[in-house]
Structure 1
Amino acid sequence: MIRRLWWMALLPLAAQAADDFAMQWPLQPAHPDAGAYRVVLDAGVYRAAYWRDLRDVQVIDADGKPMASAVQAAATPIAGPARQVELDWFAVPAGAATTMGGDLSVVVQRDAGGNVVSVRNALGTAAAGQGDPALLVDLGRQAGQVQALRVEWEGEPAALDLGYRLEGSDDLRRWQVLDPEVRLVRLRNQGRQLSSDRVAVPTASRYLRLVPLQHEGAPPLRALHGELAGDAVADDWQWVELAASAPGDDPAARFGYQVQGRFPVQRVDVAMPANTAVAWTVSSRDEDRRQAGAEPAWQVHARGWNTWTLQEGGRRQASAPLQLGQETSDRDWQLQAEPAVAGTPAPTLKLGYRPGSVVFLAQGRAPYRLVAGNARAATRESSLEPMLAALRARNGAQWQPTVARLGEGAVSAGDKAYAPAAPVRDWKSLLLWAVLVAGALAVAGFAISLLRGARPANG
């Protein structure tokens, strides 16, 4: 009977688990019979969160019991298929490529931007037809982006086996050997074809040169293409816009901003008036990095970050956002102009992030709720990661659990959920002191009684 009463007393406590959190959201599963769900977090959840590791973002069932869950960062975008661009190339007569120590400045004409516009034969017309020509490639604006060259021959020859030495240069004077022997092969046998027309480019140099290792045998070149890595497109970027806490009051052109919640910031941008150019030092800090008796230190993310806006004929252009080297969820941010100019307008600070998600198992009784915001939440160890890793290995890297969407958020405990936990009392020490004080009082009382009993009788 007593055991039943204890269980009855504990049930209301379990049902009131949501009351320990500031906010709550009903969850709407796409399929009610799934065993695992994935909930994409919105700005409201991040705004309610108290801890950096989002330990206070949890899923509970209809009885208030916490579900097995794991908070996950946004998935890394997968690069799309490789893209190809046509490159400018020139045939350099045999022998010219190695003349004068490899200096091509005497045979190559460039414009003011460094683009190769023509190649003339400095050795005379007699040398022009002797042997296979070298191939000079101008990568131009694609320098540093081209991962490989793709060769396209005239007439699509049925059989060839050619060797080239791949070299790179930034000024057409000093050449570096990148690959001493590149093989370009096309062979056919009984209806089958072996083809290798790709040359890897392990350099960011602007100019490349393919110098033939054979005297002759190469067919005329039709085109040369550059292979670029496919862009990893992530179109789920979200932005938090913040106004300066004290705009225009600091003569050092220093502006402070404060974020509510724990957003996983990866990009920084500013919104400024038209036709403005300012360089900034970008810093952030947080109370959880405070040292004993000292202010939390500012962590500098960038110095001299140049931002600008330009308005021309109804068209507005602006500088690109700043990419942070490491994700941060600091609450306090600061911009300081370089150089500091009094009267610099306070920009709107924009913090970019990609929303993460919570994965949970449907263990308890539906409906489920997501809760967030609790300064007293304890660290939780998730046991789901090994299972999720195994499922992705089995079903593909992009496998995800069934989607569950957030309903409309509602206040639960509100601001009182952010009150820090009461300091833990050392009851053992207090009890020991109480025993010692009680013992001392008992000894004192006993001594007083002895003294009273030892007094001489009057008379």
Structure 2
Amino acid sequence: MIKRLLVLALLPLSAQASADFAQQWPLQLQQADAGAYRVPLDAAVYQAAHWRDLRDVRVIDADGTPVASTVYAATTPLGGAVRTAPLQWFALPAGSAAGDDDLSVVVQRDAGGKVVSIRNSVAPRADAGGPDPIWLIDLGEETGKLRRLLVDWSDTTATLDLGYRLEGSDDLRGWQVLDPQVRLVQLRNQGNELRSNSIKVESGLRYLRLVPLQRSGAPQLLGLRGEFADAVEISDWQWQQLQAAAGGNGKDGYLYRLHGRFPVQRLDVVMPPNSAVSWTVSSRDQDRVRADDGEPAWQVLTSGWNAWNLSEAGKQQRSPPLETSGIVDDRQWRLQAEPGAIPAAAPVLRLGYRPGSIVFLAQGRAPYLLVAGSADEGKAQAALDPMLAALRARNGAQWQPAAASLGAMAQRAGDAAYQPAPEPRDWKNIVLWVVLVLGALAVTGFALSLMRSSRDKSGT
């Protein structure tokens, strides 16, 4: 009996069943003999994912063994040949950028939104001693294609080191800071020249403005040019439409829940016709918890965002979507209206994202499955970046892995995959205690056997 208990105690009790995934998709390969494949992710994959970094989105072979794979964010649009063209720009008084101003009251536009004139405009350079002007740029049909601003001074020999704040807007009302400080430098010394007259732009907003950080010092501006890349979109914007939870209101805030780890980068609000409201938008998630009450903490994404919906002559006109400052993958969202501007009905919150992809290597046996959804922390994803960079350098920047697509989704482990794994037990200590107890029982049994033997001898 003791031997049997000892054998049971020493069994490998620490063996754990490997974590499974909630959902699975068969992968359809467009090229059977490719070594690497790229699979676009659809909304169902983001809905199934548990972790922010999508570490639980993997590819497995026919034997259930994970293969080398890495999840990538939305691919940057492919750029065509870079071209340079002059920009339409206007000079504004320096005071017109104070606070959250509304330039639509001083800017005259045509029916297409093109800036045609500005009231109270100033010369390209103020009089000596006057403040430097603000430069307003209307990209027009080139919106979304600008990659760099080029500043041309009338005096190419002037010595200057100037700072500007780059801002962007879609409606000349609300402005976003795109770069809090850009430097424009033009220096000469003993025949050497240092010149920095370009500004990198990463925004799809139509209107830009350069606000001087110094009161004066800028020479006369000759013109502004733009470097454009006619981008070819690889993936279109996708949208998730959320309905407000029951019981919410504009005063305390409308609450929304996003089911999935979507990489949100645009916000939109659909309101009743003929309404305009300024909103504060916040988001939160369970992994961002306050220490005082244990509740998830809200982070404000934007405030004073004016959204509107106008019905005119049977046509609906709505405010443009708002770009976030980065990717937001929180699950809970809140809209709070400014006092006195609560809409007649709860608005629909639309969250825009560009779907990413997963790249995997054809290891093991086909067919392959994409799996997603697991509370298990899993292993680090494969480091495929060096290999892909080398292949693009060898085969051209436009090279991509072979295409693959998702088949019909099927349930794998379901909701059970989202349950955290139990805390691992310290089996070494447990086995040690079992061995000690069994040893004590063996000693006790041996002592009792000796005592019984002694009684038997004394009785004889």
- Establish whether TM, by shorter chain, passes 0.5: yes
Query: What does residue range 322-401 of structure 1 map to in structure 2 within 5 Å?
Result: 322-339=322-339, 345-376=345-376, 378-401=378-401
- The one of 147, 150, 172 equivalent to 2:149 is 147
Equivalent pair of 2:50/2:260 in contact (CA under 8 Å): yes
- The one of 193, 197, 204 equivalent to 2:210 is 204
CA distance in 1, matches of 2:26, 2:117: 65
Equivalent pair of 2:277/2:342 in contact (CA under 8 Å): no
Residue 238 of structure 1: aligned partner: 238
Residues 225, 53 of structure 1: alpha-carbon distance in 2 compared, 3 angstrom cutoff: closer
Confirm or deny that 1:261 pairs with 2:275. no
1:86-115 CA-to-partner distances (Å, cap 9, x unmatched) read 7589xxxxxxxxxxxxxxxxxxxx976245
CA distance in 2, matches of 1:290, 1:225: 47
Q: Which is further off, 390-399 or 289-298?
A: 289-298
1:315-355 CA-to-partner distances (Å, cap 9, x unmatched) read 32222222222212221222222237667632111111111
Query: What SS class does the counterpart of residue 417 from structure 1 fall into?
Result: helix
Residue 287 of structure 1: aligned partner: 286
CA distance in 2, matches of 1:431, 1:62: 37
Shift of 1:403: 0.6
Shift of 1:36: 0.8
Residue 304 of structure 1: aligned partner: 304
- Give the counterpart letter for 1:209 in structure 2: Q
Find the structure with the greater CA-based Rg: 1
Q: Percent same amino acid at aligned positions?
A: 51
Residue 273 of structure 2: aligned partner: 274
CA distance in 1, matches of 2:156, 2:66: 66
CA distance in 1, matches of 2:66, 2:40: 18
Query: What SS class does the counterpart of residue 302 from structure 1 fall into?
Result: strand
Residues 443, 281 of structure 1: alpha-carbon distance in 2 compared, 3 angstrom cutoff: farther
Pairs aligned (count)? 356
Confirm or deny that 1:77 pairs with 2:77. yes
Shift of 1:261: 2.0
Residue 34 of structure 2: aligned partner: 34
Query: What does residue range 46-65 of structure 1 map to in structure 2 within 5 Å?
Result: 46-65=46-65
Equivalent pair of 1:111/1:117 in contact (CA under 8 Å): no
CA distance in 2, matches of 1:47, 1:78: 27
CA distance in 2, matches of 1:376, 1:117: 63
Shift of 1:30: 1.5
Query: What does residue range 403-422 of structure 1 map to in structure 2 within 5 Å?
Result: 403-422=403-422
- Give the counterpart letter for 2:46 in structure 1: Y
1:161-205 CA-to-partner distances (Å, cap 9, x unmatched) read x977699999xxxxxx97589xxxxxxxxxxxxxxxxx9577937
Query: What SS class does the counterpart of residue 366 from structure 1 fall into?
Result: coil
Equivalent pair of 2:37/2:359 in contact (CA under 8 Å): yes
Equivalent pair of 2:35/2:361 in contact (CA under 8 Å): yes
Query: What SS class does the counterpart of residue 288 from structure 1 fall into?
Result: coil
- Give the counterpart letter for 1:284 in structure 2: S
CA distance in 1, matches of 2:198, 2:252: 46
Shift of 1:262: 1.4
- Give the counterpart letter for 2:374 in structure 1: N
Shift of 1:147: 2.9
Residues 365, 116 of structure 1: alpha-carbon distance in 2 compared, 3 angstrom cutoff: same
CA distance in 1, matches of 2:267, 2:221: 43
Can you give the 5+ residue segments of structure 2 that lack an aligned partner in the other structure?
Answer: 1-16, 91-115, 125-132, 140-145, 165-183, 189-195, 200-208, 213-217, 456-460
Residue 423 of structure 2: aligned partner: 423
1:368-408 CA-to-partner distances (Å, cap 9, x unmatched) read 22111122351324132221122123233332101111112
Shift of 1:418: 1.9
Shift of 1:142: 3.8
CA distance in 1, matches of 2:329, 2:231: 24
Query: What SS class does the counterpart of residue 51 from structure 2 fall into?
Result: coil
TM-score computed with the length of structure 1 as normaliser:
0.64
Equivalent pair of 1:150/1:227 in contact (CA under 8 Å): no
Confirm or deny that 1:113 pairs with 2:153. no
Q: Which is further off, 437-446 or 46-55?
A: 437-446
Residues 149, 392 of structure 1: alpha-carbon distance in 2 compared, 3 angstrom cutoff: same
Residues 241, 439 of structure 1: alpha-carbon distance in 2 compared, 3 angstrom cutoff: same
1:122-152 CA-to-partner distances (Å, cap 9, x unmatched) read xxxxxxxxxxxxxxx9975449x8834799x
Residues 111, 232 of structure 1: alpha-carbon distance in 2 compared, 3 angstrom cutoff: closer
Query: What SS class does the counterpart of residue 303 from structure 1 fall into?
Result: strand
Query: What SS class does the counterpart of residue 210 from structure 2 fall into?
Result: coil
CA distance in 1, matches of 2:337, 2:439: 68
CA distance in 2, matches of 1:345, 1:259: 20
- Give the counterpart letter for 1:84 in structure 2: A
Query: What does residue range 119-268 of structure 1 map to in structure 2 within 5 Å?
Result: 141-142=137-138, 147-148=149-150, 179=186, 204=210, 209=220, 226-230=225-229, 234=233, 236-246=236-246, 248-250=247-249, 252-268=251-267
Equivalent pair of 2:57/2:371 in contact (CA under 8 Å): yes
TM-score computed with the length of structure 2 as normaliser:
0.64
- Give the counterpart letter for 2:270 in structure 1: A
Equivalent pair of 2:185/2:197 in contact (CA under 8 Å): no
- Give the counterpart letter for 1:304 in structure 2: G
